[in-house]
Chains A and B, each alone.
Chain A
């Protein structure tokens, strides 16, 4: 997916962009509303991540103009202002969703998926591996013409595997991707979700291998 990140704090923008790139997304950065307008004029994006307080104006004004110009690109507001009134405001001015800084990237991705799904989705988000077709927006996995619904954690787990096919992924690494850091995780949690995903993949040439003592790997026959 292609993101436009409008954020004036350079450190924060760099870290968000790095993290999104790591998951295979393309990110253009804008440090002001003027730069954001330039970017929007030059390219089209799947999603805009918008900060509220910017050096040349309020992100909410940008939102109003964006909506008035009937531009369809969905917007997720990233705000450091967590006051309840600010949250209500952001949605009233036409943001598709908002996320309060600091945020969990898994949650940001979940929100992006939800927004894109509501907006009718982009077909180019579909991914294939061997005889699998995976649609993260619709949360479906198609195996040889047979469509199967995935739960949120199964979607995330499959995305992690599809981002690094053939690579051995350690259990700890998968825990970090599947669970929030403040949530208690049982020892066999990863096994449970891997087992579920394997069940959803039944009948496919693709499979998740257990590499004893090291982790898991997505391979295909």
Chain B
């Protein structure tokens, strides 16, 4: 299944920002907890040291002056509870005698910190040790100072919530940014695709559209493919030209011999056969010619071999060329051209279009009629009209007649390949022009060819 690059990119960017958001949340949460714990431990340790220093020995007893200022400072950090225990030797002198001792008993005034569950709460304890002299004997004394950390927890939780919100915000901001970035990255692909898409159906020139380095292999592959296609088309054209040539000479011999035999034959049955033979040879020659023209038009259309030409001059030249064909049927060609009609075009394509239109008009016109050919400027276009008094296009749609091998329903008695109008339409399209066929008022057909002028 095809996967959209854009979608994939967006998803990856979003996944990345989700990971970043979570990491941000975790980092803020752990960092905040660590920071507040270190601060509070410092205060707790200082308070425990303070207490230990206040241990007094008097009259063989041990006294402690619990500093109320220290306690209120500890309690001020939220609603924390304070626990303490002072041991001298193996005896608890004051405080909670069940407050757990540290695993490793400290040996100096440097506090040891640990966390233990006590009275349904987690208690953080700082333990310090010192020696006190009782009746000339040095006795070890241990001071434990504990503090719940519920207030600190809630502050840390709130901080973490804010961090979570920030993470979410980062993630939300990442969505439009990812879409934007993805679109920016995909844009060269889109514009390349559009450039290829915009080409005419016959444009087989290599793609020269600027593309990012990563797309160059694709463009190169595309151009190689186009090159191969063009080569195949050109070979086809050469092949058809050769084939047409090799068919035409024997056809000419066949036709000439048949015509000679027809002149000499007295039997009407044989003459009829000879006529059919000649018709067949003419059909074959005509089809070969039209196929060749069609291949030429297809091939030239993509070459865009433009040169400065005069449409008026071309119309006159092509019409004059077909004069003999018209004369055979006593058809008058009436040529009205407004000159000059300068255009940029492929003379071969335009010649093919003009010849096929005029040839068609002559072919489908009855004897002793007139075919009117005119060329003049209409705005930016040259308009070439070929009007006949022939049988018209009948019930067929003009669009249908332009299709390959498609002929009108009213022309079965006239030889034709069904390629003539296709050639005209394709040549016109390749020149950026337009070809239309419609019924002429008062009978007959009007062919209109529009070609852009320069």
Residues of A whose CB lies within 8 Å of any CB of B are 9, 11-12, 15-16, 18-19, 22, 80-85, 87-88, 97, 100-107, 110-111, 114, 151-153, 172-173, 176, 180-184
Contacts and interface: CB of A to CB of B under 8 A. Distances in A.
Interface in B305-361: 323-325, 327-330, 347-348, 351-352
Contact of A102 (B256, B325, B368): B256
A102 B255 contact: yes
Contacts of B249: 9, 12, 80, 101
A153 B367 contact: yes
B192 interface: no
Interface residues of B, number: 47
Contacts of B329: 152-153, 180, 183
Which among A85, A110, A153, A183 has the greatest number of chain B C-beta atoms within 10 A?
A: A183
A111 B285 contact: no
Which among A16, A82, A111, A114 has the greatest number of chain B C-beta atoms within 10 A?
A: A82
A101 B251 contact: yes
B292 interface: yes
A102 B289 CA distance: 11
A132 B288 CA distance: 44
B21 interface: no
B272 to A, nearest CB: 9
B255 A182 contact: no
Contacts of B248: 80, 82, 100-102
Interface of B: 241, 244-246, 248-249, 251-257, 259-260, 262-263, 268, 271, 275, 278-279, 281-283, 285, 288-289, 292-293, 296, 323-325, 327-330, 347-348, 351-352, 367-368, 413-415
Given A12-B256, A114-B324, A172-B268, A181 B289 contact: no
Contacts of A110: 324, 327-328
Contacts, number: 120
A184 B245 CA distance: 28
A88 B347 contact: yes
Contacts of A87: 351
29 contacts: A12-B253, A12-B256, A16-B256, A81-B241, A83-B241, A83-B244, A83-B292, A83-B296, A101-B249, A102-B248, A102-B255, A103-B252, A104-B282, A107-B325, A107-B328, A110-B327, A110-B328, A151-B330, A151-B368, A152-B327, A152-B328, A152-B329, A153-B328, A153-B329, A172-B268, A180-B329, A181-B275, A182-B282, A182-B283
Given A82-B289, A181-B278, A172 B271 contact: yes
Contacts of B352: 84
Contacts of A114: 323-324, 327
Contacts of B323: 114
A82 B244 contact: yes
Interface of B is mostly: helix
B38 to A, nearest CB: 92
Nearest to B325: A107
Given A100-B248, A114-B324, A184-B414, A11 B259 contact: no
A116 B248 CA distance: 27
A12 to B, nearest CB: 5
B260 A102 contact: no
B327 A176 contact: no
B299 to A, nearest CB: 10
A182 B414 contact: yes
